[in-house]
């Protein structure tokens, strides 16, 4: 199958195609969030695109429209503990599996954003930059990003001082400075180098003081 086809053409070839995408592989804290979406060709959604290319207001509006019009959708995740245990790649694959398995309709084909696919019960194809090429993947990217961004805004209130609501957990200078100054929180990924170093610095300081 050629990549980059309009979804209506894909659907005509492969009935019940789901798009799958993730958000949150790079951040130092929080879960990695994935989504799977089966769009309804009879209820088109205008303006679907890579979630990173849309404004926050547009993503929020499309989020509601996708949830209303899609034949089926599911948002799933892998927690910080799973990321630290499995590594971020395998945790992402696990979260993608959960998203597809959580669909109320079993797709005939899963189209995965990126260059590799999780193990699924149905055929799967990886599509590099799929969130800019395949509407169903774009829809999944929007659901995943809006869901994770909302969670990061909530963590901003639980863990003030880190700027989580702004940088969403990514290793910005503001985040790295706060991590060094305040130390890691329970939602920080211990397996990521800056967090591991912050833990080691805290342990070293504790040993010195004792």
pLDDT at 88: 98
- Provide the CB-side half-sphere exposure for 18 (13 A, CA): 31
Per the CB < 8 A criterion, the answer to whether 168 and 156 are in contact is: no
With H, G, I as helix, E, B as strand and everything else as coil, classify residue 73. Answer: strand
In the block, residue with structure tokens 């993730």 = 22
pLDDT above 70 coverage of the chain, percent: 90
pLDDT at 210: 54
Residue 207: pLDDT band (50, 70, 90) is low
pLDDT at 8: 43
**Domains identified in the chain and CATH numbers:** 7-157 (3.30.420.10), 162-209 (no CATH)
> Tell me: the pLDDT tens digits for 101-158?
999 999 999 999 999 999 999 999 999 999 999 999 999 999 999 999 999 999 999 9
Residue 9: pLDDT band (50, 70, 90) is very low
Q: For 79-141, where are the E strands, in sequence order?
A: 109-113, 124-127
Give the tokens for residue 71. Answer: 């034949």
With H, G, I as helix, E, B as strand and everything else as coil, classify residue 163. Answer: coil
């Amino acid at each position: 199958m050629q990549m980059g086809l309009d979804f209506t053409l894909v659907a005509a070839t492969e009935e019940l195609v789901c798009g799958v995408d993730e958000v949150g592989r790079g951040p130092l804290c929080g879960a990695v969030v994935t989504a799977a979406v089966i769009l309804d060709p009879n209820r088109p959604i205008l303006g679907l695109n890579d979630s990173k290319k849309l404004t926050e207001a547009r993503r929020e509006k499309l989020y509601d429209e996708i949830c209303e019009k899609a034949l089926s959708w599911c948002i799933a995740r892998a927690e910080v503990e799973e990321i630290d245990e499995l590594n971020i790649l395998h945790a992402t694959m696990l979260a993608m599996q959960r998203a597809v398995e959580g669909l109320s309709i079993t797709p005939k084909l899963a189209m995965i954003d990126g260059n590799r696919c999780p193990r699924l019960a149905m055929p799967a194809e990886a599509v590099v930059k799929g969130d800019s090429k395949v509407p169903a993947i774009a829809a999944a990217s929007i659901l995943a990003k809006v869901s994770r961004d909302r969670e990061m805004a909530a963590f901003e209130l639980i863990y003030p001082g880190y700027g989580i609501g702004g940088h969403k957990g990514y290793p910005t200078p503001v985040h790295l400075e706060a991590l060094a100054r305040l130390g890691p929180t329970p939602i920080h990924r211990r397996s990521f180098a800056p967090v591991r170093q912050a833990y080691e610095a805290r342990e070293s300081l504790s040993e010195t003081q004792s």
